Amino acid sequence: MRPVRRETPLIMPQVKLLSYHLSPTSPEGCCALQEMMTSDRDNENLLGSLLAGRYEIFCLLEDGSKGAVYKARLAGDGCLVAIKVWHEKLLASDPTFKRFEEKARLAAELSQENLVSVKDFGLTDSGCPFLVTDFQPGLSLAELIAQLTEVPADRALRVFFQVLAGLSYLHARGLVHGDLKPSKIILLAEDEDELVKIVDLGIGVSLRSGEKSSAAQAWQAGSSRLCVSQDLLNCDKNRKLLDYNLLYASPEQLRGEKLDERSDIYSYGCIMYETLTGVAPLPQGNFAEAIHKRLLLQPEPFAVVREDLSLPERLEEIVFKSLEKEPSRRYQSDSELLEDLKQVDAAIGFHRSLQ
């Protein structure tokens, strides 16, 4: 039975703006988003510089609301690395940097083939936190979707399995990625197979410590209403960055609640939906509409957004179960989700063998 789009009969709650994706720290209130999104205009340009006395920065890969990602080589041996530099400036003695340092050290201890390796971290000369990872010279899943419009189910499943393996490794260690999206999934060619890498692991949230998400901390410190100025939202770049982050955030992230692995499962469901259909779930026209849809509405069934597609009904059911608004209605574990995906993969392989 194909999923039926439904509206949850709830009164629209007061919405507080999340700043969870904007830095590795806990900002003072949700108004920090406005400060963070405008701060990049004055951020130092590290192109051509020697960071920490050993990283020769020669290419800007990405410039976003929370920071910039550079391509660099390690002085001496020429090893290529990616360096993420956050826009917020901190002191080494600042408690927020200490928290960032703890999480960076934890990320550096992770070792799984589908997770990017964290190599180094620190502060720039001007006090901006940075994180160094292996450079991944592949295509992002976002770029692949844009090229193909939709990814064939058998190839998509190979990607899904590897992403889930990386997430399972994190979750088994009491961590949640918290910022999963197609642009953070890199596809590397390895002989005839694709190796999938999940990148940007420096701001994971501990589950075992009982720590709340940065969004929850920020919202508790902030006001009970939206505090992003219309001028900020009218800036095309800022609006697109906000919209892109919201596309994959779970409802509990938007509500500022404590996160667990089911939040990642929701984001994973968003990625499955977009990979298979070429259309992001619940696309929005403006910021308020984005919040409203993510808290109250389910995405359209596959047949509505792409009448030309022919995908297994069971695969669609798996995607929509992952996208349930309430965590208790989603898959409760990675292993439960994996078993259902394996059954679909086996069915697709069986049908392929008959052709």
SS3 letters across 258-274: CCCHHHHHHHHHHHHHH
CA distances from 272 to 43, 118, 152, 209, 248 (A): 35, 26, 12, 30, 11
Could you tell me the pTM of the whole model? Answer: 0.77
Which of 28-32, 151-155, 171-175, 311-315 is predicted with the least confidence, judged by mean pLDDT?
28-32
Three-state DSSP state, 206: strand
In a domain, 345, yes or no: yes
Using CA atoms, how far apart are residues 120 and 101, in angstroms rounded to an integer?
Answer: 10
Q: Which domain range does residue 189 map to?
A: 139-211+258-354
Structural domain tally of the chain?
Answer: 1
Tokens of 82: 């990616």
Please name the amino acid found at residue 196.
V
More confident residue, 1 or 132: 132
Beta carbons of 318 and 338 less than 8 angstroms apart: no
Confidence of residue 239 (pLDDT cuts 50, 70, 90): very low
CATH code of 147's domain: 1.10.510.10
Helices (H), 109-152: 141-148
In a domain, 57, yes or no: no
Beta carbons of 260 and 327 less than 8 angstroms apart: yes
Percent of the chain whose predicted confidence (pLDDT) is above 90: 50
The answer to whether residue 204 scores a pLDDT higher than 80 is no
Nearest to 161 by CA among 342, 283, 286: 342
Average pLDDT score over residue span 250-258: 91
In a domain, 143, yes or no: yes
More confident residue, 71 or 355: 71
Q: Which residue carries 């992952």 as its tokens?
A: 322
Using CA atoms, how far apart are residues 153 and 275, in angstroms rounded to an integer?
Answer: 9
Confidence of residue 103 (pLDDT cuts 50, 70, 90): confident
In a domain, 77, yes or no: no
In a domain, 298, yes or no: yes
In a domain, 313, yes or no: yes
Tokens of 125: 């000369």
